[in-house]
Amino acid sequence: MDILQILLSESFWAASLRIATPLIFGVLGALLCEKSGVLNLGIEGIFVAGAMSGWMAVWLGAGLWGGVLVAAAAGGFFGLIHAILTVPLGLSQHVSGLGVTLFATSVSYFSYRTALPNVSSPPRIEPFRPLDIPVLSDLPFVGPVLFQQTALTWLALLMVVVVWYVMNRTALGVAIKAVGDNPNSVDAQGLSVYGLRIGAVVAGSSLMALGGAFLTMSAFDAFFFGMVNGRGWISIALVIFASWRPGKALLGALLFGAFDALQVRLQTEVGALVPSQVFLAAPYVLSIIALVIVARSADYPRALLTPWFKGQR
Amino acid sequence: MIRVEPRTAPSRLMKIGVPILSAVIALALAAIPLVFAGAAIGPAYVEMFKGVFGSKFAFSEMLTRATPLIFTGLAAALAFRARLWNIGAEGQLYLGAMAAVAIGTGAVEAPAVILLPLIILFGCMAGAAGMAVPAVLKTRFGADEVVTTLLLNFIILIFLQYMLEGPLKDPMGLGWPQSSPILDQGMLPPLMERMRVHSGLIIALVCAGVAQFMLARSVWGFKLRAVGENAFAARHAGIRVNRTLLSAALVSGALAGMAGVSEVAGLKGYLTSDLSPGFGYTGIVVAMLAGLSPAGVVAAAVFIASVFVGADSMSRAMGVSSYLADLVVSTSLLCVLIGGFFARFRFVRVKVRQRAAS
Amino acid sequence: MTAEKVLALKGLSKTFGPVVANSDVNLDLHRGEVLALLGENGAGKTTLMNMLFGHYMPDAGSVEVADQGGHFRPLQLGHPQAAIAAGIGMVHQHFTLAENLNALDNIMLGAERLSRLRRDRRAAHAKVQKIMLSSGLSAPLDVPVGRLTVGERQRVEILKALYRDVDILVLDEPTAVLTPQEADTLFENIGAMTRDGLSVIFISHKLREVLAFSHRIAVLRHGVKVGEIASKDADERMIARMMVGADTPEPDRPVLAPGAPVLRLEKVSVPGRSRRDSLLRVDLTVHRHEILGIAGISGNGQGALAGVISGMVRPTGGRVFIGDAKIANHHPSTMIDAGVGRIPEDRHRDGIVGAMSVAENMVIERLGDPEVQSRGLLRREAIQSHAEALSTGHDVRGPGTQAPARLLSGGNIQKLILARVFERQPRLILANQPTRGLDMGAAAEVARRLLAARSRGAGVLLISEDLDEILSLSDRILVIHDGELTEADTRDREALGLLMAGEDA
């Protein structure tokens, strides 16, 4: 099987979309936060929290969508911590984000270990099954790729449309874009800078958590320590690559997923000649390259990383 | 009505008080997860205390644990003072360890007085190189160093796996992915008999002292501080900002690399992929707790090491997950951050006298 | 203008820490009136209006606004949306526009409910068109604001307020960014609107325009209202004295013969933030014993000019000479070594490192000097005593030389920067908006120092938006427009205004 054959196979594209899904959630979430002017480095920890809390909710009997809600709520909770520290208190967004990542991760790991202390292999739940949509799933090529994904992938794609619509077609989107460029513009028009930013960060963090939930409730069926493995950081790099636009965010996540799916398949082909680690490292190298190429982007939210305080002009 | 006003300048007392208070509060808040885990609170704290102060061995274990944290704490503190967000200490640590192993397991035949400094030199250079790349990407291309250093950590870890299964693999290691042991003359000498604490600690303390001195009293330190506080004004005043950032990056990376050297050539003796349980990331918390002061890093490292070692011991005694330590450490970071707010601002009660409408 | 009151400020006071910004200010506004709020920089004019508009919460006092029926109601303080709802609009000195959005979106911002799922841009567009017709102000609506000129942005700001159906319009230093002709046009339009019932307060520190364009003048000094007078009953000297409390003499500029060139730009091109703000192949010479004034509206290349002379921006073409030496490696350190003293436009961003001490800020440009360091280590006692001497000699007042520089007032920060510049006896001084934000006493001090340097033999390149300052200090004047420099052979304000707008005099 050569590269062309791989690229033309349905299983490759289905895998690409599956691998891209958590990144879609992550990039959309980071995009919302950053568009409003707040960098959320808590994303890696929020992924962990979403993965653990969603899985745990299902394991305790909440049902799959109950788990999704719990994961989103967990994301919102940790996002709120970050929002309060960075928006009204105006503390360093870098340090607060890293603190939230460490905090959310340790809360998740501790809770999991305490709830399940003596397990040799992680217990499993019944995850989301691929949605078999009648008629559409039988279409050649497109069928198996698109219409045998799980509900969470569909949710991710839906979220791309929702975020696009909110940012570009609603008054709320205008306000968020404005507060990320010049908070004074929003304040002078009688809107609340704090409210907009805190809301954007909480909403964005809920989306991020869904990325984690996908890992434990759809891609796999159990929670492993270290399973997030940098997907949060990759999402942050991809947001810059996407110029903070939902459409490009989807494209970036898909490209990334495709590359990751490709390297798994290539390993079996060329494994003898090139060490497997080259393929393992490729996604991270790719992210760095993408970051460097797009670094000085014109769409950079002007007020990103700058705190705003009421009553200081 | 209560209004928030910036303080003129935080007092010395506040600068030391805030981190200490944060540490105490974080420790006290550990009671919550203890309850959640169903453990008796009093005995748990006693076990933690005993785990550090209960015996000479326990105490030396704590110091052993603190040694790499001093190095990574210094790495983070110096970089952050220049507003260079080095989150890559974890990877730089492993680069230093790999260099130590490459030099010290037999490639170079030399007596200790030559081999040891050589290992340290190459370890530091490897760590420095690890931070040089993101620094250059930042200064030349404007690429955010937070993300590049983070992603580089993963790349370095993957590279480490490759090295441990390939060029650095121990031919007599029964197939495990581990390196050959470092020669005796390449090991950092221990400080006490039958204890694991080693002379890496002395090197760490010396580094902290030198860093504190250089930061406060040297022109290099002045430039670093100026660039970190206001890079625009620093540039306008004629300071070469990129050069300063690059030198800060090299020093920071070298210190993180030294953490790797210290662990491999002082403690373990050989390299595996789990050499560091996150020393690089914990170093960031150490630096923040220390208020980014090199002298404070020593105290903060001792505190954090105590938390880890104490929680480990308590975990074995009482069956509570040792992730409690990570909880305490991350909580103390958030507390110190919030405390920083109170150090910068104060609350003022203002009487609003509204004149009656005519 | 009628006698009907529309607004009453009663006893407004505000302090920031130890600084009293406003103390017990009472002010009334009548329907159809143009009231000028006059005072020097730091007098408390903007703070007062910020309290009216809700950006600041007063420590004491109240505000009453007439509603539709003419009844007076108290205004809820501390919330801009309350002010907007009461019919008050404000055009801020520093524009409050989102540059990534177009003008229409900026105007609609806050006027549409955030919970709505759809937007009605067509209706908004129509309404704005109507307002543009009736007010005589127009601006492109579909272009990102970041690409508009300063004048266009200001018109968007005003349209923003008019869109909200304001009865009372506050303008903060509206003519700071306009040519004299544009200022005339603006006030003509405002005059038309007041005849339709709009009431206006405008803040200014310019005597001439306050007399020309207002019905009544209220003068603030050190946060207190010291007097009110009908404009037709006032003259410049009278209100100047009210503003400052004493007569201010014009600085003494003795006639001096210009000497050898200290600065020469030959066909220098410098990139700027936009095409209009860049320099294209310009020639310029400054001589010893000379102050060369660069007059112009901001955004026409001043940033690029200051950038290349301060060393912050590398030229893409041409040659720069300081004295006889050509500058090869462009960097602030090269310019400092060549003998250029720089007074930056943004003193907080480029002038001082706020968190470092006053003493450290005083030596920051001379870190290689043997007086400051020895073998790479700072000579702390020498630095300390040097700072004390410099502070005394240049009257830099504050909480001490060890205190962080950001605690100093704007005037004292400028004195610190001047001290730092002048102690090196530079042969060329770049003074970029040197008196912006300073009260008249501090501004006079700066002017005195620049003239003294000129007498001693330095050349001064003065960049200023304040035409009066240029006229009073400069030996020669160049007008900058669209990145091009034109020698002005006239001192007539009108003629200069035309040049500043790019038209031939």
Q: What is the residue extent of each domain of chain B?
A: 2-349
Are A175 and C114 inside 8 Å of each other by CB? yes
Contacts B–C by Cβ distance under 8 A: 104
Are B358 and C360 inside 8 Å of each other by CB? no
> Residue C151's pLDDT is what?
84
CB atoms near residue B338 (< 10 Å)? 19
> Residue C91's pLDDT is what?
93
Look up residue A242 and give its amino acid.
Answer: A
- Chain B nearest C-alpha distance from C475 (Å): 28
- CATH number of A204's domain: 1.10.3470
pLDDT at A44 over 60: yes
| Cβ atoms of residues B197 and B64 within 8 Å | yes
- Name which residue leads in pLDDT, C208 or B173: C208
Contacts of C119 in chain A (CB under 8 A): 169-171, 174
Read off the pLDDT of residues A119-150 as tens digits, 9 standing for 90 and up: 778 888 889 888 877 777 677 777 777 777 88
d(CA B130, CA B258): 12
3-state secondary structure of C12: strand
Please report whether residue C92 resides in a domain. yes
> Residue B355's pLDDT is what?
46
pLDDT at C494 over 60: yes
DSSP-assigned letters across all residues of A180-215: HH-HHHHHHTT--HHHHHHHHHHHHHHHHHHHHHHI
Residue in chain C closest to A309 (alpha carbons) equals C55
> Residue B358's pLDDT is what?
36
* First vs last C-alpha separation in chain A: 65
3-state secondary structure of B139: helix
- Which residues are CB-contacts of B72 (< 8 A; sequence separation ≥ 6)? B89, B93, B255, B256, B259, B279, B280, B282, B283, B284, B286
pTM comes to 0.91
- Tell me, what's the ipTM? 0.91
Read off the pLDDT of residues A211-258 as tens digits, 9 standing for 90 and up: 999 999 999 999 999 999 899 999 999 998 888 999 999 999 998 898
Shortest CA distance to C434 belongs to which of C342, C307, C343, C340? C343
Contacts of A190 in chain C (CB under 8 A): 79-81, 83-85, 110
Rg (CA), chain B: 22
User: A4 pLDDT band (50/70/90 cuts)?
Assistant: confident
Residue in chain B closest to C353 (alpha carbons) equals B230
Please report whether residue C351 resides in a domain. no
Counting residues of chain A whose pLDDT is more than 70, the rounded percentage is 95
DSSP-assigned letters across all residues of C286-315: EETTEEEEEE--TTSSHHHHHHHHHTSS--
Are C119 and A169 inside 8 Å of each other by CB? yes
Please report whether residue A273 resides in a domain. yes
- Chain B nearest C-alpha distance from A141 (Å): 35
Contacts of C83 in chain A (CB under 8 A): 190
Q: Is A9 on the interface with C (CB under 8 A)?
A: no
Are B36 and A114 inside 8 Å of each other by CB? yes
Please report whether residue A125 resides in a domain. no
Are C404 and B9 inside 8 Å of each other by CB? yes
Please report whether residue C345 resides in a domain. no
Average per-residue pLDDT for chain A? 90
> Residue C500's pLDDT is what?
86
Please report whether residue A71 resides in a domain. yes
pLDDT at A7 over 80: no
CA C219 to chain CA centroid, nearest Å: 19
Please report whether residue A145 resides in a domain. no
d(CA A31, CA A292): 18
Look up residue A143 and give its amino acid.
Answer: G
Strands of C224-230's sheet in order across = C88-91, C168-172, C199-204, C34-38, C216-221, C224-230
Chain length of chain A: 313
Q: Is A113 on the interface with C (CB under 8 A)?
A: no
Topology classification of domain B2-349: ABC transporter involved in vitamin B12 uptake, BtuC (1.10.3470)
pLDDT at B349 over 90: no
Tell me phi and psi for residue C361, to 5 degrees: -65, -25
For A173, A195, B255, the CA distances from C57, given in Å and listed in that order, are 29, 19, 50
Q: Is A184 on the interface with C (CB under 8 A)?
A: yes
DSSP-assigned letters across all residues of chain A: --HHHHHH-HHHHHHHHHHHHHHHHHHHHHHHHHHTT---TTHHHHHHHHHHHHHHHHHTT--HHHHHHHHHHHHHHHHHHHHHHHTTS---HHHHHHHHHHHHHHHHHHHHHHHSTT-SS------PPB---TTGGGSTTHHHHHTTSBHHHHHHHHHHHHHHHHHHHSHHHHHHHHHHH-HHHHHHTT--HHHHHHHHHHHHHHHHHHHHHHIIIII-SS--TT-STTHHHHHHHHHHHTTT-HHHHHHHHHHHHHHHHHHHHHHHHHTTTS-HHHHHHHHHHHHHHHHHHHTT-TT--TTTT----TT--
- Name which residue leads in pLDDT, A5 or C166: C166
In this prediction, residues B290-317 reach a mean pLDDT of 94
- Binding-face residues of C in 322-341 toward B, CB within 8 A: 331-333, 336
Q: Is C108 on the interface with A (CB under 8 A)?
A: yes
> Residue A13's pLDDT is what?
87
d(CA C107, CA C123): 13
In this prediction, residues A78-87 reach a mean pLDDT of 97
Contacts of B229 in chain C (CB under 8 A): 353-356
> Residue B357's pLDDT is what?
40
| Cβ atoms of residues A141 and A207 within 8 Å | no
- CATH number of C55's domain: 3.40.50.300
Q: Is C19 on the interface with B (CB under 8 A)?
A: no
Q: Which domain holds residue A103?
A: 3-115+150-294
Read off the pLDDT of residues C389-399 as tens digits, 9 standing for 90 and up: 999 999 999 88
- Chain A nearest C-alpha distance from B292 (Å): 12
> Residue A291's pLDDT is what?
84
User: A292 pLDDT band (50/70/90 cuts)?
Assistant: confident
> Residue B352's pLDDT is what?
57
Read off the pLDDT of residues B116-162 as tens digits, 9 standing for 90 and up: 999 999 999 999 999 999 999 999 998 889 989 999 999 999 999 99
Counting residues of chain C whose pLDDT is more than 70, the rounded percentage is 99
User: B107 pLDDT band (50/70/90 cuts)?
Assistant: confident
In this prediction, residues C25-49 reach a mean pLDDT of 92
Q: Which domain holds residue C38?
A: 5-244
d(CA C321, CA B120): 49
- Which residues are CB-contacts of A5 (< 8 A; sequence separation ≥ 6)? none
Choose the closest CB to B154 out of A94, A105, A284: A284
Read off the pLDDT of residues C416-456 as tens digits, 9 standing for 90 and up: 999 999 999 999 999 999 998 888 888 888 999 999 999 99
User: B356 pLDDT band (50/70/90 cuts)?
Assistant: very low
| Cβ atoms of residues C461 and C294 within 8 Å | yes
pLDDT at B351 over 90: no
Number of domains present in the structure of chain A: 1
Contacts of C338 in chain B (CB under 8 A): none
Residue in chain B closest to A117 (alpha carbons) equals B321
Please report whether residue C350 resides in a domain. no
> Residue C267's pLDDT is what?
94
d(CA A178, CA C97): 8
Query: Is C259 in the same domain as C378?
Result: no
Read off the pLDDT of residues B326-343 as tens digits, 9 standing for 90 and up: 999 999 999 999 988 888
pLDDT at A1 over 60: no
Domain C-terminal end among C397, C423, C449: C423
Choose the closest CB to A185 out of C50, C106, C112: C106
Are B151 and A234 inside 8 Å of each other by CB? yes
Interface residues of A toward B, Cβ cutoff 8 Å, are: 41, 81, 85, 89-92, 94-96, 98-100, 102-103, 105-107, 109-111, 113-114, 117, 229-230, 233-234, 236-237, 240, 275, 277, 280-281, 284-285, 287-288, 291-292, 295-296
- Name which residue leads in pLDDT, A10 or C414: C414
Read off the pLDDT of residues C237-249 as tens digits, 9 standing for 90 and up: 888 888 887 766 6
Residue C69 carries which DSSP code?
Answer: T
pLDDT at A151 over 70: yes
| Cβ atoms of residues C150 and C177 within 8 Å | yes
In this prediction, residues C30-40 reach a mean pLDDT of 93
Number of domains present in the structure of chain C: 3
> Residue A271's pLDDT is what?
62
Are A191 and C114 inside 8 Å of each other by CB? yes
d(CA A214, CA A220): 8
In this prediction, residues C123-139 reach a mean pLDDT of 91
Please report whether residue C333 resides in a domain. yes
Are C98 and A188 inside 8 Å of each other by CB? no
